[in-house]
Amino acid sequence: QQPVQSPQAVILREGEDAVINCSSSKALYSVHWYRQKHGEAPVFLMILLKGGEQKGHEKISASFNEKKQQSSLYLTASQLSYSGTYFCGTSDLTDSWGKLQFGAGTQVVVTP
Amino acid sequence: NAGVTQTPKFRVLKTGQSMTLLCAQDMNHEYMYWYRQDPGMGLRLIHYSVGEGTTAKGEVPDGYNVSRLKKQNFLLGLESAAPSQTSVYFCASQESNQPQHFGDGTRLSIL
């Protein structure tokens, strides 16, 4: 079953923060986060594995709440380059080797 | 260092025609995937492979076939194209629990 992302879209001014959530009804093994710019391929941001760790990439970080089967992506002090569509991909315990189901995406627009 | 290469990049077909999309990776990855991406629906898995000579169905396999005769190549076939198959197709490759690496996509229109 496809994970649910929220919000569907967010508009930010440069320097503002945002949070994108990814929830699943299944017990998760891993959560991947990707960013896709218009007309391009998705680009990997980070992986979070079962265990609730938090990771960071520049001023983008993420957490994984194992009890809630939820991951959150934090965009801090947003830059124009952060614009794009963010996807979470999740693997459950039966596909722990890496097959992912992707959410529908969250469109992020950062304005000057 | 090409990564994942998809050919062709664009194609227009007529209903009922057949074609094959090619995906090639040079990272010696075991796992390969074919996705389709439609507006507002994210990436949906069509077929995947866990190694040379193996294939399996994903979420939306109807109307597509795949083959993986060589580890580096994963082919997606449309036997009789339908307008509902108009989409952007992405191939990806991966090692176990590592990031998926995506090709640049194939934009396919079926008239």
Tens of pLDDT, residues B52-103: 999 999 999 999 999 999 999 999 999 999 999 999 999 999 998 789 999 9
pLDDT digits (tens, 9 = 90+) for B15-54: 999 999 999 999 999 999 999 999 878 899 999 999 999 9
Q: Is B12 on the interface with A (CB under 8 A)?
A: no
Question: What does the alpha-carbon distance between residue A87 and residue B37 come to, in Å, rounded to a whole number?
Answer: 12
Q: Is B38 on the interface with A (CB under 8 A)?
A: no
* pLDDT score of A98: 79
In this complex, do B97 and A42 lie within 8 Å of one another by their Cβ atoms? no
In this complex, do B31 and A32 lie within 8 Å of one another by their Cβ atoms? no
**Residue from the list A40, A87, A97 with its beta carbon closest to the beta carbon of B42:** A87
B14 has a pLDDT exceeding 70: yes
Per-residue confidence in pLDDT tens, chain A, 112 aa: 799 999 999 999 999 999 999 999 998 889 999 999 999 999 999 999 877 666 666 789 999 988 889 999 999 999 999 999 999 999 988 887 779 999 999 999 999 9
Kindly provide the b/e burial profile for residues A53-72, where b requires at least 16 CB atoms within 10 angstroms of the residue's own CB.
eeeeeeebbbbbebeebbbb
DSSP string across A19-81:
EEEEE-SSPEEEEEEEEE-TTS--EEEEEEETTT--EEETTEEEEEETTTTEEEEEE-S--GG
Mutation target to probe the A interface, by most A beta carbons within 10 A, among B25, B38, B43 is: B43
Question: What does the alpha-carbon distance between residue A43 and residue B101 come to, in Å, rounded to a whole number?
Answer: 8
From first CA to last CA, the distance across chain B in angstroms is 36
* pLDDT score of A55: 66
With contacts defined as CB-CB under 8 Å, which chain A residues touch B104? 40-41
- Mean pLDDT of the region B102-108: 97
Q: Is A38 on the interface with B (CB under 8 A)?
A: no
Q: Is A74 on the interface with B (CB under 8 A)?
A: no
Chain-centre distance of CA B62, in angstroms? 13
A101–chain B nearest CA distance, Å: 7
A80, with CB counted inside 10 A (0-12, 13-18, 19+), is exposed
Question: What does the alpha-carbon distance between residue B31 and residue B50 come to, in Å, rounded to a whole number?
Answer: 5
Structure-block tokens of residue B73: 């190549």
Let me know: does B64 contact B46? Beta carbons within 8 Å: yes
Residue pointed to by tokens 């947003």: A78
* pLDDT score of B40: 77
A78–chain B nearest CA distance, Å: 23
Question: What does the alpha-carbon distance between residue B81 and residue B54 come to, in Å, rounded to a whole number?
Answer: 24
* pLDDT score of A94: 82
Measure Cα distances from A57 to A1, A44, A47, A82 in Å.
28, 10, 11, 12
> What one-character DSSP code corresponds to residue A2?
-
* pLDDT score of A49: 85
Q: Is B34 on the interface with A (CB under 8 A)?
A: no
